[in-house]
Amino acid sequence: MLEIKHTLCPSCSVGCGINVVLKEGEVVGSFPYKRHPINEGKNCANGRDSIENYKNKIKTATISNSETDIDKAIGEVLKELSSADASTVTVICSGNNTVEETEAIKNFAESKNYNIGFFADNLCNIEDVASYDDIENAKTILVIGDVLYDNPLIGRRIVHAKQNGAKICANGLEKSVTENISDEYSTDSVQEFLDAAKSNLYESDLIIFNKVDSPDDFDRIISIVEDSKCKVLPVYSKSNTKGTLNFMESKSEEDMIELLDNTKVLLVFNDDIADEIDFDFSRISKIISFAYCENNTTKISDIVIPIKAWLEKDGSFINAMGETQSFKAVAESDTLSEIEVIEKLNG
């Protein structure tokens, strides 16, 4: 018997709705949620791939690549934490965590006096951001990063804006998808691009970006927005990065490397920090991953503990324009959630 259940796409911060197809309780596929107000029946390849990742989820805990049961793995984590100096323990939080999980992770780290690391691609929080509807009504849009490729449902609105007469000025790498619809395209540094464009921005205009070269570029964007009164919309690579930014500040890559340099025990909650930070992780004595699917960080971890995927739990994400979106579990699982793991780590 087939069932259709609604949930959110976890692939970026846009917040699209997807329908999940279940056959006798097992997830077998997905298709766009036609009545969802954000994506209106469209989904990108990233959203479809998220279901494939779910199908390949981690089912068994491992210690040194050998399968074990959950209780033994958690017992080993407790053993490592009890023997470590708190100042050398770092907890990695992520925009992949729900609002509720982020709060629990932060409280856990602070209660134990552990360090906490959160990397958001050198992006930070902005309280007053544009809505998705603002995109289609803008006169000029500055696009930084390949938004059309990375965030196609935002890209779709940029295309509509161009059809409505907007001028599109973009900055990114050579041969990006965004270049194809741009009136002006630059491969200069983000700083050079912004310096050239800032004097021609007004209240009717908009800056959309999903990358910067450095934290200084982020500060430069904020300064331009304040001077020109134009609108701004950062699009984050993870579903709840904006929600996580409500709890903690993100660190620059430089600060993350400094933090990792002083770490002996690393706890990674649903993130792939090894894919994001250029660091020799072999210098860390113990790496412990809590993840629902394999990634580059789980591959180098000493202990891996499987957790519920977003399809298996209730929670909420805050999307790029600041809307809180709640979702319910659409699949059953006996796996522990991140919050349940933290409860066990707290004793």
Total residues found in the chain within this entry: 347
What number of CA atoms fall less than 13 Å from residue 36's CA on the CB side?
A: 23
Spatial distance between the Cα atoms of 51 and 132, rounded to a whole number of angstroms: 25
Q: What mean pLDDT do residues 133-153 have?
A: 94
Torsion on CA atoms 228, 323, 218, 272, rounded to nearest 10: -160
Spatial distance between the Cα atoms of 130 and 160, rounded to a whole number of angstroms: 16
pLDDT-derived band of residue 294, with 50, 70 and 90 as boundaries?
very high
Which tens digits make up the pLDDT trace of 101-111? 999 999 999 99
Spatial distance between the Cα atoms of 117 and 101, rounded to a whole number of angstroms: 15
Please name the helix (run of DSSP H) or strand (run of DSSP E) that holds residue 53, with its range, or none.
Answer: helix 45-55
- Range with lowest mean pLDDT among 29-33, 125-129, 217-221: 29-33
Q: What mean pLDDT do residues 236-258 have?
A: 96
Q: What mean pLDDT do residues 219-224 have?
A: 96
- Pair 317, 245: CB distance under 8 Å: no
Spatial distance between the Cα atoms of 117 and 267, rounded to a whole number of angstroms: 10
Spatial distance between the Cα atoms of 235 and 6, rounded to a whole number of angstroms: 23
**CA distances to 48, 101, 151 from 11, in Å:** 9, 17, 9
pLDDT-derived band of residue 312, with 50, 70 and 90 as boundaries?
very high
Give 166's DSSP letter: -
- Pair 320, 157: CB distance under 8 Å: no
- Pair 301, 92: CB distance under 8 Å: no
Please name the helix (run of DSSP H) or strand (run of DSSP E) that holds residue 299, with its range, or none.
Answer: helix 296-299
- Pair 290, 307: CB distance under 8 Å: yes
- Pair 218, 123: CB distance under 8 Å: yes
Higher pLDDT: 56 or 157? It is 157
**pLDDT score, position 124:** 93
Higher pLDDT: 133 or 55? It is 133
DSSP-derived 3-state class of residue 193:
helix
**pLDDT score, position 233:** 98
Which tens digits make up the pLDDT trace of 251-266? 999 999 999 999 999 9
Residue 30 has pLDDT above 90, yes or no: no
Predicted TM-score (pTM) of the model is 0.94
**Directed axis angle between helix 215-228 and helix 190-197, to 10°?**
10
Please name the helix (run of DSSP H) or strand (run of DSSP E) that holds residue 136, with its range, or none.
Answer: helix 132-137
**pLDDT score, position 44:** 81
- Pair 285, 279: CB distance under 8 Å: no
pLDDT-derived band of residue 85, with 50, 70 and 90 as boundaries?
very high
Question: What φ, ψ does residue 186 adopt, rounded to 5°?
Answer: -130, 140
Mean pLDDT of the chain: 94
pLDDT-derived band of residue 114, with 50, 70 and 90 as boundaries?
very high
